Structure 1
Amino acid sequence: MKISLFYEFALPRPWVQDDEHQMFIDGLDEVEAADKAGFSTVWLTEHHFLEEYCHSTAPEMFLAAASQRTKDIRLGFGIMHLPPAVNHPARVAERVSTLDLISNGRVEFGTGESSSVGELGGFNIDPADKRGQWEEALEVSIRCMTEEPFTGFKGQHIEMPARNVVPKPLQRPHPPVWVACTRPASVQMAAQKAIGALSFAYTGPGPLRDRVDGYYRELEEKGSPVTPLMNPNILAIGGDLSMMVAKTDEQAVQRLGVGGGFFSFGIMHYYMTGMHTPGRTGVWERYLEEVEADPSLAYGPGRGAIGSPDTVREFLRGYEESGVDEIILLLNPRSHEGTMESIELMGKEILPEFIERDEKHVAEKNARLAPVLEKLEARREASTAPGFDENYSFGGLPTGQGGKFTSSEIPEAMAEINEGRVQAAQLEKQAREAAH
C-alpha cells in the first residue's frame, strides 16, 4: 500500500492579513519534507467558494510550485472539476500537460463532477447534467492531450472545433486518470471505465475490503477502457484519515488539537446540512460548538493516523490488509509545526516497511492483472472521434454573429506597429545623413 498526503487547505476563522499567504508557504515546506520522507503522492483538491473548509481553488498553481522543490513525490489532482463552466477541457489538457512537463512526468490526473450547492450554483451548473458533463469533458480533455490535432467534438454539453492543443504531456499517452467516488456505485463505475477510483471511505478498513474486492471484480467482469491508458487502482480517503504523529499518543493528540474532525464537519456543512451566507457564516465557530457538545468529533487515536509511531503503524496496517492500493492521509488546519515533525517521523520510522511491501505488491499485482487487462483491451469500444479534415483551416479576423461586428483590435495594433517601423526607419535615415 502506498501512503500519500491530502490537502484541502482549510483555513478556519478568524483570519489575519497574512494567513492565506503563510498557509501556502507552510504547505510547500511540508511537501518538500514529504518528498524526502518517501511519501508516494501529494494530492490537492479543487473547490470553489467553500471558505474556511477549502482554500485550494487553483491546485495546478500550488502543484507547479511544489514540483520545483521536489524530485520524486507524485503530484495529484484530487480532484480537478471537469464541468466546462469550471474548467474547459482544452484548458484542462493544457494545464495538466504543462505541469506534467515541468515536473518530469509526475502528474496523477484525478477528475470529478463537483457536487456542492455552493459550487454548482456558483457556476450555474444543473446538478442533473454534471455526470454527462464529466463524461464528455473527460473524453475531450484526454483527446486534447493525445491527438495531433484534436479533431473536434460536438456533444450535448461541449462543442469544440479541431485544434492542435499544446503542449502534450510527458507521460505518454497521458497521466494516469482517476475519478472521485463517494458511493459504492461510483467505485463500480470507475472499474467499468478502467480508471482509478479515488474512494471516499468512511467505514474503516474492515468494510473497505468489500469495496476493494468489488472494484477488481467489476473491472474484470465489465471493464471497458474509456481512456488510452488504463489505471486499475483504488485509493482510500476518509474522515478517519487525519495524520498527526508524535513521540507519544498524548503529544500527538495535543498537537492535533480539535481540528481533526473539521474535514468531515465541512463536508456536512457545505454538502448536506448547513445554510451558508458568503463571507458571513462562521464555519469553524459552528464546528467548535458541535465539538463542545460531542468531543468525539475532534478525533484521536483509532480515528486516524494519530499517535506514536507504533500506534500509527498499527492503524495503517489495518488499511493495508484491506487490499487498497493507496491511502491518503489528511493534513489538518493550523498544525504546521506538528505536521513537519509528523512527516519526519513517518519517513524515519513508518514508511520504509510499507514502501518495501508495496514494491512486492505492485509486481505481484501487475503479473496477476496482465491477462485481465488483455481481456479489457479486447472490450475497448472503437473510437467515435471524427477523422481530421485535411482541408480544414482557420484564420483571419474574428467576426461577430451575422458578420455584423468584426474585431478591430489587431488591425489597429498592427497599424501602430507599422507606423512605429516607419518612424524608426526615418530616424535611422536622419542619423545616417547627419553622420555624413
Structure 2
Amino acid sequence: MKAIMFHLMPYRDLPADFEQQHESIWVTPPNTTLCDPAMVHQYYNWNLDELELADKLGFDGVGVNEHHQNGYGFMASPNLMAAALARRTPNNSAICVLGNTLALYSPATRVAEEFAMLDVLTGGRLLAGFPVGTSMDVNFCYGITPTETRPRFREAVDLIIQAWTREGPFAFNGEFNQLRYVNPWPQPLQKPYPPVWLAGGGSVETWELAAHRDFTYSYLSFFGYQFAKKLMDGFWAKMDELGVDRNPYRAGFSQLICVSETDERAEQEYLDHCSYFFNKCLHIPSHFMTAPGYRTRRSAEFAIRTGQPGDLAAAAAEEKNWKTLTERGFVIGGSPDTVAEQLIEVAKGLRVGNLHALLQIGSMPHDLTVKNITLFAEEVLPRLRKLWADEGWDHKWWPKGAADRNAAAV
C-alpha cells in the first residue's frame, strides 16, 4: 500500500455563520471580506510544514492539487507548492501533483514544461496528475464552455504526451491548440514520461482513458466507503470489460482520517473540525456542481444509477455528529488500531493500492494536524505497508526517483 499525505489547504478561520450568510465556498465567496492575506501567509507555511513532516516521517508521497476562487482549497498553482517541496523533502517522497487542470491551459504545453521542470528538479520523483477539473473551476471560474471541457482535456493529454516523447521541434494542429513549434526544454527525467495519475468522481470516460493509456485512476470523494464502493465496482467492471488486469496499484482513493490515543479522544479532538469541513468547506450549491453540458450522458446516467450526491451541501449538512460521520465512513477516526483495521477493510473492499490520506481537515489547527500526521505515520502506516504484497503486483506507476518504502518493509 502506498500512502500519500494529501493536503487540500483550506481556509481555517471562516466565520461561524458562513454557510448562512454566503451562497457558496466556491466561485463566489467574497475574497476581500473573507480572505485575510496575512492569515494565508501563516496557512501556506503551516501547510508546507505539514507536508514536509510527512516526508520526514516516511510517507510514500506528498500531494497537492489545483482549485480556484474558493476557501475549501485555495491552491491556485499546485506547481508552486510542489517546487517548494522539491528542495525540502530530503527523504525522497514522491511529489504527487494531482494535478494540473488541463482544460484551463492554452496552450497545454505549459503543463508539459512545468511538469518536466518539476521532474528534473526532484530527480524523477514527480507523479503527474491530469484531472478533467471540477465544473466550478473549469466552467464557472475560468469560463470554459461546458461541452468543450472534455474535448480540451483529451487534446491536452495528446499534446503533453507528444511533447514529452517526440523529438522536437514538431507541429501540433489540434482543435484548441495550434502550434508550429513544439520543442519544450527540458523533457522529463523519467522515461518515457512521469507516471500519469487521473483523478475523478465517477466519469465512465475517465475510466476508459485510464485503461487505454495505462494511467492510474484515483476516486476523490469525501463520502466514504459506501459511495466509493459503487464507483470502484464500476471501475473494475470496466477494466474487466476492456481486458485490463486487476492490479490494485491502478487505483486509489481519498479518505478523511483522524487518529488519537483512543476512540473517545478522537471524537473530542476532531469533531468540531470535521463539522467545519462538511458544513463550510463543502457548502456548494448544486447549480455550481455540474454546469449543463459538463457531464456526458453516459456519466450522468451512471451517477443517477449509483446515487452519487448531486447536492454536496445538502449531503454534507446531514452528517453533523461523530457517530454518523464514522459509521458511514465519511471519516475514519479513532485509536491507531481502529483506524488501521478500517483502512485495511476499505482498501480491500475497493481494491486500491494508493491511499490519499487527508490528515488536515477543515479548521484543524497546526499542532493537532502534526499530532494526526505523526500518529498515522508511526502507528497506522506500518500496518498498511504489506497490504497487496502477497499478490505480487508491480507498482508500474510509482516515480523512479522516489523511495520505495514498501519494498523495504516487505
Do the aligned partners of residues 57 and 184 (structure 1) sit closer, same or farther apart at CA in structure 2, a change above 3 Å counting?
A: closer
More relative contact order, 1 or 2 (CA 8 Å, 6+ apart): 2
Query: Residue 334 in 1 paired to residue 363 in 2?
Result: yes
- Is contact 1:253-1:300 (8 Å) kept? no
Q: Deviations over 1:123-159 (max 9, x none)?
A: 2210101100000001111211222204121111211
User: Residue in 2 aligned with 1:153?
Assistant: 172
Deviations 1:217-263 (A, max 9, x none): 53454369xxxxx99611112xxx21221112233223324232555
Q: Distance in 1 between matches of 2:114 and 2:257?
A: 30
- Identify which range, 308-317 or 254-263, moves more after superposition: 254-263
* 1:310 aligned partner: 337
Matched residues in 1 for 2:136 and 2:231: separation? 28
Alpha-carbon distance, 1:117 to partner: 3.7
Once superposed, what is the RMSD of the aligned Cα atoms? 3.2
- CA distance in structure 2 between the aligned counterparts of 1:232 and 1:314, rounded to whole angstroms: 20
Determine the structure 1 residue equivalent to 2:383: 353
Q: CA deviation at 1:77?
A: 1.6
Find the residue that maps to 2:130 and give its secondary structure. Answer: strand
- What pairs with 1:127-142 in structure 2 (closer than 5 Å)? 127-142=146-161
Unaligned runs of 5+ in 2: 16-34, 290-312, 397-410
Match of 2:121 in 1: 102
The CA deviation at 1:332 is 1.1
Query: Does 2:275 match 1:246?
Result: no
Q: CA deviation at 1:340?
A: 0.7
Is the deviation greater in 73-82 or in 212-221? 212-221
Work out whether residues 72 and 282 of structure 2, in 8 Å CA contact, stay in contact via their aligned partners in 1.
no
Counterpart in 2 of 1:235?
A: 252
Residue 207 (structure 1) shift? 6.7
> Cα–Cα, structure 1 residues 191 and 269, in superposed 2: closer, same or farther, change >3 Å?
farther
Asked whether the 8 Å contact 1:81–1:87 carries over to 2, the reply is no
Change over 3 Å in CA distance of 1:216–1:122 after alignment to 2: closer
- Quick one: which of 61, 70, 77 aligns to 1:41? 61
Identify the match of residue 95 of structure 2 among 49, 52, 75. Answer: 75
- Contact kept? 1:112, 1:179, Cα under 8 Å: yes
Q: Which moved more, 1:177-186 or 1:341-350?
A: 177-186
Measure, in 1, the Cα distance between the counterparts of 2:210 and 2:277.
24
Secondary structure at 1:321 match in 2: helix
Corresponding residue for residue 183 of structure 1: 202
User: 2:321 maps to which residue?
Assistant: 296
Q: CA deviation at 1:270?
A: 3.7
Superposition deviation, residue 208 in structure 1? 4.5
Whole-Å separation in 1 of the counterparts to 2:275 and 2:157:
32
Distance 1:203 1:221, change over 3 A: same
Stretch of structure 1 that moved more, 39-48 or 326-335? 326-335
- Quick one: which of 198, 204, 207 aligns to 2:218? 198
Deviations 1:154-184 (A, max 9, x none): 1112111223101111111111112222116
Residue matched to 2:302: none
3-state DSSP of counterpart to 1:112: coil
- CA distance change for structure 1 residues 82 and 17 in 2, over 3 Å: closer, same or farther? closer
Is the contact between residue 41 and residue 73 of structure 1 (CA under 8 Å) also seen in structure 2?
yes
* Change over 3 Å in CA distance of 1:221–1:193 after alignment to 2: farther
Q: Structure 2 vs 1, CA of residues 211 and 194 (structure 1 numbering), >3 Å: closer, same or farther?
A: farther
Of the three residues 50, 66, 77, the one matched with 1:58 is 77
Name the SS of the counterpart of 1:183 in structure 2.
coil
Aligned letter for 2:14? R
Provide the rounded CA distance (Å) in 1 between the counterparts of 2:199 and 2:102. Answer: 11
- Matched with 2:392 is 364
SS of the equivalent of 2:219 reads strand
CA distance in 2, matches of 1:299, 1:205: 11
Contact persistence 2:140–2:288 (CA under 8 A) = no
Partner of 1:344: 374
> Residue deviations 1:31-62, cap 9 Å, x none?
12111222222221101112x11211111111
2:31 maps to what in 1? none
For 1:317 and 1:151, the matched residues in 2 are separated by: 48
Give, in whole Å, the separation in 2 of the partners of 1:194 and 1:61: 27
Amino acid in structure 2 at the alignment position of 1:115: T
| Partner secondary structure for residue 170 of structure 2 | coil
Measure, in 1, the Cα distance between the counterparts of 2:5 and 2:279: 19
Identity %: 27
1:263/1:139 CA distance change after superposition, 3 Å:
farther
Query: 1:129 and 1:274 mapped to 2: Cα distance?
Result: 17
Correspondence for 1:259: 273
1:227 corresponds in structure 2 to none
- 1:244–1:338 CA contact under 8 A, matched in 2: no
Q: Which blocks of at least 5 consecutive residues in structure 1 are unaligned? A: 225-229, 276-286, 370-436
* Deviation for aligned residue 1:91: 1.0
Aligned partner of residue 120 in structure 1, secondary structure: helix
- Per the alignment, residue 272 of structure 1 pairs with 286
